[in-house]
Chain A
Amino acid sequence: MGANTLPVILLLPLLGAIGIACTARWPNVRETVSVLTALGLAVVVFSWFPEVSAGARPHIILSEPLPGLTLALSLEPLGMMFACIASFLWIINTIYSIGYMRGNREKHQTRFYICFALAIAAAMGIALADNLFTLFLFYEILTLSTYPLVAHKGDPKTIASARVYLGILIGTSIGLLLPAIIWTYVATGTTTFTLGGIIQGNVPGPAVGLLLGLFVFGVGKAAIMPVHRWLPAAMVAPTPVSALLHAVAVVKAGVFCVTKIIIYIFGVDFLFSQPSAQWLQYIAAFTIISASVVALYQTNLKRMLAYSTIAQLSYVIMATVILKPLAEIGAAVHIAAHAFGKITLFFAAGAIYTAAHKTELWQLAGIGRRMPITMAAFTIGALSMIGVPPTVGFVSKWFILAGAFQAENYLAIFTIIASTVLNAMYFLPIIYFAWLAPDAPDVDMNHGEAPPAMLLALGVTAALTIGFFFFNQPLLDLESQLVESLPL
């Protein structure tokens, strides 16, 4: 395929959004358009996979608003993976959303599906961005298009939370990320992602650490402490939003940006040699441990999952800043692993809410006996979060640990082990109570399983969480290019 067809990946969801708007009057047609768009997008994205896997790097310039500053798209292993995950999970999520939105009789469903399609278009734009400017553009579109989704309910409490969401994400991106991009541009004369980085020799040593800080905290979507507050706030959104956007598209866009910036803007080797950049692993370690501890104290299921996400995101950051080949692969695989595991958990949470209207942890006692399929999927997702084989969470943890040993980075090793223990401490009791404990008193237990559309979706993602443990070779092949092409 020619690189000229790359914009199709962005245009398809946009056309889908228009289609959804036009068919608002007929819900069945509207949902069909949603599903078809999702399917079409996934087909287009996956059709690029063999080529990129074989080493092709398609590239196209759309416009050049300022000299040296282009709106350009390209595909490389990291972006390919992110695009594949997001587009594939969008199909499942669309099916799940239909079940959820109808099951809960939500209002403004057309707006919901339109914004969803726009958000996916933005996520694709982030995946395909060829330079920081393009990345920033789609990063902002993603924030703006997800705001109506977070604020979906429209009551004052939701609005207040959505304001936190928007305030932190826009604030950090304009306040820190944009200056970082402009600094990079002024110092190097370019913002294009280049293997080996563009910073070396252009920014003096101590300033590298500062620039890294601007980038890392500027990408608020990566939820590194202390800019993590938006993520629990965003949990007021309907569950499909939490699932796709706050387990996959938005947060993964965050860590994807950080990983991409570290690999392609700073350069792994250069950053490894900079003492001023070492602080990031301490912050990541701190985020992992403290977010896990906070998760331990949560009583609301979705909030607990949110803090778990914060910790897992910092795994990716930590893996990236170990700055060793195996750890870089681990970082990339963990983006995928966490996506499958966490979307399963959120799907399960949404299924429980739809079928039984339960949101608090104590209400879940004995629920496994009434919703066996949902809780089985939940169990698989939770095991993947802890990193137990045979789930995909084990694969990525293996690589990250291997990289940490390669670098003899004992901080990373200790953090991963400690957080695994913490993960087990907050997930295992839930599994135990859900399956084995007697029913919670004073709770309505007259409910069955969730609607079939939701079960189908969470069944697929749970199966993938396990399946990916066995069949991860194509992804590993793709991402090892990331390392081979790195000057080691």
Chain B
Amino acid sequence: MNLADHLPALQVALPLLTAPLVILLRAGFLAWLAALIASLASLGLAILLTITVLETGTQQYAVGGWQPPFGIALTVDGLSALVLLLITGASSLALAGGRQSLRLDIDNRRAPMFYGAWLIAMAGLCGIAVAGDAFNVFVFMEISSLATYILIAAGRDRRALSAVFKYLIIGTIGATFYLIGVGFIYMMTGTLNFADMALRLNDVIETRPIIIAAGFITIGLALKAAIFPLHIWLPRAYTYAPNAVTVFIAACSTKVSIYVLLRFNYAVFHGNLLGHSDLFTVFIIPLALSGILLASAIAIYQGNVKKMLAFSSVAQISYIALAAGLASQSGLMAALLHMFNHALAKGTLFLCVLAFVLTSRSATITDLHGIGRRMPWTMAAFVLASLSLIGVPGTAGFVSKWYLVVAVMEVPGWGIPLVIAIIASSLMAVVYLWKFIEAAYYGEAPNGETGTMEVALPLRALIWVAALSNVYFGLFPQLPLALAQSGTGTLLGGLH
């Protein structure tokens, strides 16, 4: 076995083992550097894994050589590769761009602990993506959640404490629901391994514990994924977290929960439970629909850019849920693509907000009036990412929206109303984004300041790399398409 075969394990082990080392480093700068290097290395691993998966198919890894179903199995397929890219990419982006911002937000003495928690959070999220059994998913979910609570509460804004408390309570309920569901399934099938579970469920099909388990798991994960109306923890957590943390978690953490949701509902339940997909559709689509419309509408009335983008995230997550709820091949394709593309757009947007806050020390729209004239480069990147979020052609957002609409049009009878809802929400996105853009370019600066005051060149360059990736993946979406296709294949594999 050469090193390349250990990639799935390294993906988790590397950040997990670097975390204690980071804590030992005294100075904030060194800790940051170490965390960044670990994060970039993880990104490198994720890229290697993606290439391997695309070339040779699903990677199976038995920890310690113990073969599943007895040992711990790690499975990396196209779907996990997609999620891994998101996690490590978002973490690298947030760390690389967040140095200055984090130095202001985090007490220097506590900085090593903070970066340690960051790496643990990343390791946990990666662990969820590679875990091949339901219980390890739970373990990694707890690891990542606990570390994320620390990250969100680490800033100087005291409102983050109440926000994170809410998140803690709801997140724990979600995780508990999930665990209850997994317990029921274990009771009935005697296995925790996803692949094994999918096979054995056939024998206990239509028994009450299994149906209850499906309900618990779906609702528990919907809580963690912030599917409307279970999103109430999200806006405040995103708003009051340190800006760099927001970049990180907004781009990937809810996506990881959706990943588990999809894996359970499709790869495990879909092929076995009679009528499960109908039930799933009936459950998820009304929620998604109301999320798409209401969260967008709420976003319009926000006075804080971060909160506005947070509500926009709720709406965008609902898009993913809607697409996934269609239970069709094109729908899943759209869901997976949108996971990727939304992460690109939202990551860029929050990074721009981070830059705004760096120079003007506030994220409320009234304080950011005229920021477009003062920070022309950053603001232009914000506009570009906004276009992607709206779904203007030529940007990544358009590709997934196109797939979404095409998938929705296939639904007999409901196609047109759903398309209208999607369009209405896109138009609302225009309204809330343009409200800010207009104020940024034409608003009167609050204290009459003029003249440019851009952030440092490296951060600006990073922002533009992120913004241009929105355009690149809009014109050449082959990579996310290939991953989404492979992921869709895995998810629907159980359907025969």
**Residue ranges of A at the interface with B (Cβ–Cβ < 8 Å):** 63, 65-66, 69, 71, 133, 136-137, 140-141, 144, 148, 151, 154, 159, 163, 166-167, 170-171, 174-175, 178-179, 182-183, 185-186
Q: Which residues of A contact B405 (CB under 8 A)?
A: 179, 182
| Contacting pair A163 B438 (CB below 8 A) | yes
| Contacting pair A174 B430 (CB below 8 A) | yes
Report the bound CA distance from A423 to B359 in whole Å.
56
* The one of B390, B409, B438, B476 that contacts A65, using a Cβ cutoff of 8 Å: B476
| Contacting pair A140 B392 (CB below 8 A) | yes
- Which 6 A-B pairs rank lowest in CB-CB distance, beginning with the nearest? A137-B393, A137-B394, A63-B475, A182-B405, A159-B442, A154-B442
Flag B458-496 by CB within 8 Å of A: 1 or 0 each: 000000000000000011110000000000000000000
Q: Which residues of A contact B409 (CB under 8 A)?
A: 182-183, 186
* The one of A65, A174, A183, A185 that contacts B423, using a Cβ cutoff of 8 Å: A174
| Contacting pair A182 B406 (CB below 8 A) | yes
Q: State whether the Cβ of B283 lies closer than 8 Å to any Cβ in chain A.
A: no
Report the bound CA distance from A440 to B299 in whole Å.
53
| Contacting pair A186 B426 (CB below 8 A) | no
Q: State whether the Cβ of B187 lies closer than 8 Å to any Cβ in chain A.
A: no
| Contacting pair A178 B438 (CB below 8 A) | no
**Residue ranges of B at the interface with A (Cβ–Cβ < 8 Å):** 387, 390-394, 399, 402-403, 405-406, 409, 419, 423-424, 426-427, 430, 434, 438, 441-442, 474-477
* The one of A71, A159, A174, A182 that contacts B402, using a Cβ cutoff of 8 Å: A182
Query: Across the A-B interface, how many residue pairs have beta carbons closer than 8 Å?
Result: 60
* The one of B403, B406, B430, B442 that contacts A170, using a Cβ cutoff of 8 Å: B430
**A65 touching B442 in the complex, CB below 8 Å, given contacts A171-B427, A174-B423, A179-B423:** no
| Shortest distance from the beta carbon of A206 to any chain B beta carbon, whole Å | 15
Q: Which residues of A contact B402 (CB under 8 A)?
A: 66, 69, 182
| Contacting pair A65 B426 (CB below 8 A) | no
Q: Which residues of A contact B392 (CB under 8 A)?
A: 137, 140
**A65 touching B399 in the complex, CB below 8 Å, given contacts A71-B475, A170-B430, A175-B427:** yes
Cβ contacts A to B, 25 pairs, < 8 Å:
A63-B475, A65-B475, A65-B476, A66-B402, A137-B393, A141-B394, A151-B442, A154-B442, A159-B438, A159-B442, A163-B434, A166-B434, A170-B427, A171-B430, A174-B390, A174-B427, A175-B423, A179-B405, A179-B419, A182-B405, A182-B406, A182-B419, A185-B406, A186-B406, A186-B409
| Contacting pair A66 B438 (CB below 8 A) | no
| Shortest distance from the beta carbon of B375 to any chain A beta carbon, whole Å | 15
Which of A148, A170, A178, A185 is the most central at the interface, judged by chain B CB atoms within 10 Å of its CB?
A178
Q: Given contacts A140-B392, A185-B406, could you give 8 more A-B pairs where the C-beta distance is less than 8 Å?
A: A65-B399, A69-B402, A137-B392, A140-B394, A167-B430, A174-B390, A179-B423, A182-B402
Which of B392, B393, B476 is the most central at the interface, judged by chain A CB atoms within 10 Å of its CB?
B393
Q: Which residues of B contact A185 (CB under 8 A)?
A: 406
Q: Which residues of B contact A171 (CB under 8 A)?
A: 427, 430
Report the bound CA distance from A141 to B387 in whole Å.
10
Q: Which residues of B contact A179 (CB under 8 A)?
A: 405, 419, 423
Report the bound CA distance from A269 to B57 in whole Å.
52
| Shortest distance from the beta carbon of B424 to any chain A beta carbon, whole Å | 8
Q: Quick one: closest A residue to B376, CB to CB?
A: A111
Q: Quick one: closest A residue to B402, CB to CB?
A: A66
* The one of B393, B427, B434, B442 that contacts A140, using a Cβ cutoff of 8 Å: B393
* The one of A133, A159, A186 that contacts B393, using a Cβ cutoff of 8 Å: A133
* The one of B399, B426, B430, B434 that contacts A66, using a Cβ cutoff of 8 Å: B399
Report the bound CA distance from A136 to B403 in whole Å.
17
**A63 touching B427 in the complex, CB below 8 Å, given contacts A179-B419, A182-B402:** no
| Shortest distance from the beta carbon of B330 to any chain A beta carbon, whole Å | 11
| Shortest distance from the beta carbon of B389 to any chain A beta carbon, whole Å | 13
Q: Quick one: closest A residue to B430, CB to CB?
A: A170
Report the bound CA distance from A163 to B399 in whole Å.
27
Report the bound CA distance from A159 to B387 in whole Å.
20
Q: Quick one: closest A residue to B393, CB to CB?
A: A137
Q: Quick one: closest A residue to B405, CB to CB?
A: A182
Q: Which residues of A contact B393 (CB under 8 A)?
A: 133, 136-137, 140
| Contacting pair B430 A65 (CB below 8 A) | no
Q: Which residues of B contact A183 (CB under 8 A)?
A: 409
Q: Which residues of A contact B427 (CB under 8 A)?
A: 170-171, 174-175
Report the bound CA distance from A141 to B394 in whole Å.
10
Report the bound CA distance from A69 to B398 in whole Å.
12
Report the bound CA distance from A167 to B431 in whole Å.
8
| Shortest distance from the beta carbon of A146 to any chain B beta carbon, whole Å | 14
| Shortest distance from the beta carbon of B469 to any chain A beta carbon, whole Å | 14
Q: Which residues of B contact A186 (CB under 8 A)?
A: 406, 409
| Contacting pair A65 B419 (CB below 8 A) | no
Q: Which residues of B contact A136 (CB under 8 A)?
A: 393
